[in-house]
Amino acid sequence: MMEKSFVMMKPDTIQRRLMGKVLSRFEEKGLQIVAVKMMHISPGLAQEHYGEHCERPFFNDLVEYITSSAVLAMVIQGDDCISMIRKMVGATNPKEADLGTIRGDYALDTGRNIIHASDSPQSAEREIALFFQDSEICDYSMPDSDLIYEE
Ligand code: UDP
């Protein structure tokens, strides 16, 4: 099923100049980038985005980290892409993430794990609506889609 996922490169990805490498992985997989926005997240938006963790001991540090500098917010589209992107991103703790995943290859610390990706269709819908207007999501065809999808 065609899905949209919310993916966000965290401040460390941008500051470490890893944006291009990370973005390339999604493009090379055959996924479609349908929205991109570089922005500074306000504390309010960070608290809302990570609301499910508000009681956790790491919450304040997480909000501080994610608001510390610019992030790159994205919407990525593809067949069953929500779970696929989670696999590509790897485990929350980069030390446990498999090599070959984004966190496994580029990060070492849970508190600096470089990327966020929606964990379910419900989260994706909520997160996309938090960060993007419908008009900011671009619908365009992929001329090579026959080479990526059988049907
Ligand atoms: N996090 C943290 N310490 C922890 C657990 C999580 O700093 O012990 C941060 C980390 O940046 C993680 C984010 O909180 O990516 C959200 O946690 P979640 O469990 O939702 O992991 P994710 O879905 O990002 O893999």
Please report the pLDDT score of residue 77 as a whole number: 98
Does position 151 have pLDDT exceeding 90, yes or no? no
Per DSSP, the chain holds a count of helices (H) and strands (E) of 8, 4
Determine the atom of ligand 1 nearest the C-alpha atom of 89.
Answer: 25
4 beta partners: 77
H or E segment to which residue 15 belongs: helix 11-15
33 pLDDT tier (thresholds 50, 70, 90) = very high
Give the burial string for 118-138 (b: 16+ CB within 10 Å, else e): bbeeebbeebbeebbeeeeee
137 within 8 A of 26, measured Cβ to Cβ: no
Say how many Å lie between the CA of residue 92 and the centre of ligand 1. Answer: 6
Average pLDDT over residues 109-116: 98
Domains and CATH numbers, the chain: 2-148 (3.30.70.141)
Distances from the Cα of 111 to the Cαs of 33, 89, 102, 108, in angstroms? 26, 15, 15, 9
CA atoms within a 13 Å half-sphere pointing along the CA-CB vector of 109: 6
Q: Catalytic: 49?
A: no
Average pLDDT over residues 11-21: 98
71 beta partners: 39
Interface ipTM:
0.98
81 within 8 A of 4, measured Cβ to Cβ: yes
Q: Is 17 left (phi over 0), alpha (psi -120 to 50) or beta?
A: left
Say how many Å lie between the CA of residue 44 and the centre of ligand 1. Answer: 18
99 beta partners: 101
pTM of the model: 0.97
Q: What is the pLDDT of residues 45-73, one digit of tens each?
A: 999 999 999 999 999 999 999 999 999 99
Determine the atom of ligand 1 nearest the C-alpha atom of 52.
Answer: 20
Mean pLDDT of the chain: 97
